[in-house]
Amino acid sequence: MSATSPVRPVLPPDILARKGGAPLVVLTAYSTPVARLVDAHCDMVLVGDSVGMVIHGLPSTLGVTMEMMILHGQAVVRGTQKAMPIIDMPFGSYEESPQQAYRNAARLMAETGAPCVKLEGGQHMAETIAFLTARGVPVMAHIGLTPQAVNTLGGYKVVGRAAEAEKVMADALAVEAAGAFSVVLEKVPEGLSRRVTERLSIPTIGIGAGVHCDGQVLVVDDMLGLFTDFRPKFVKRYAELGKAADEAIAAYAADVRARAFPAAEHSFPDELPVKK
């Protein structure tokens, strides 16, 4: 490909074809500038409903609306050229029926330009996934810990230990059979996620599910350390930007109070110098 050739975007069939190959790299993004940074290094960019907690300060993902997902989805799609944007379907937008799910998935794709959606749920969502995929909506599934069901699950806990393992495996097989092109495994024991990955013919994307998945996803704000008081066990901090930002803002505030900013080099003189 020449230097002037357009970059071909990643699409769901490309992700499916990566099963068992080089690990897939996924991060979240909620804005155009961050999407541009992520696009340069990742295979997929997830516009997660985690935007509700990360950007809007909500206590959970349950208050996220279609309008929020569309707004942030549009921003992320503008910032991507190569990596594939994926839009989360928010709570209440798909659980009622396959028909409701199709209307909202079609709206997300049409209004953002994203080529696929992600939804939570295993066996009980298989009919909906099949309905969507048969009508041209590629679906990434999400099983294990499903944050939209946190009130039913009783918290953000590991899912799939002991007797639960059979259900997680059944969920994985169900979403694969329904036509999902990949599946997120969240907070699933490492041994189980390995068995699921080996059993499925579609890629698994882990978050807190160990190293044996076909790819990994993290919330970008977590791995950059933008939250100084939030450290999930499954997140590796690759930077401490929250601390750096706090120090920079404190320095700015001190300069303003001391009248050290703006200095002469940041100000405009009353008159322009006369040219000789």
Report the alpha-carbon distance of residue 90 to residue 92 in Å, rounded. 6
Tell me the residue type at 86: I
* Torsion on CA atoms 182, 232, 69, 39, rounded to nearest 10: -60
Pick the catalytic residue from 127, 186, 240, 265: 186
The SS3 of residue 266 is helix
What's the CATH code, domain 12-236? 3.20.20.60
Please indicate whether residue 67 is annotated as part of the active site.
Answer: no
pLDDT tens across 24-44, in order? 999 999 999 999 999 999 999
Tell me the residue type at 23: P
238 vs 199, 241, 253, CA distance in Å?
Answer: 32, 9, 27
pLDDT value of residue 154? 81
Name the residue ranges covered by the structural domains of the chain.
Answer: 12-236, 241-267
Region 76-103 average pLDDT? 98
2 is in an annotated binding site: no
Question: Where would I find the H helices in 42-137?
Answer: 51-54, 66-78, 98-112, 126-134
pLDDT value of residue 275? 67
> Please, which contacts does 151-155 make with residues 24 or more away whose CB atoms are closer than 8 Å?
151/62
Report the alpha-carbon distance of residue 118 to residue 16 in Å, rounded. 15
pLDDT value of residue 4? 47
Report the alpha-carbon distance of residue 190 to residue 228 in Å, rounded. 27
Q: Which of the four pLDDT bands, split at 50, 70 and 90, describes residue 1? A: very low
Q: What is the mean pLDDT of the chain?
A: 94
Region 169-192 average pLDDT? 98
49 is in an annotated binding site: yes
Q: Is the pTM of this model over 0.75?
A: yes
171 is in an annotated binding site: no
pLDDT tens across 121-150, in order? 999 999 999 999 999 999 999 999 999 998
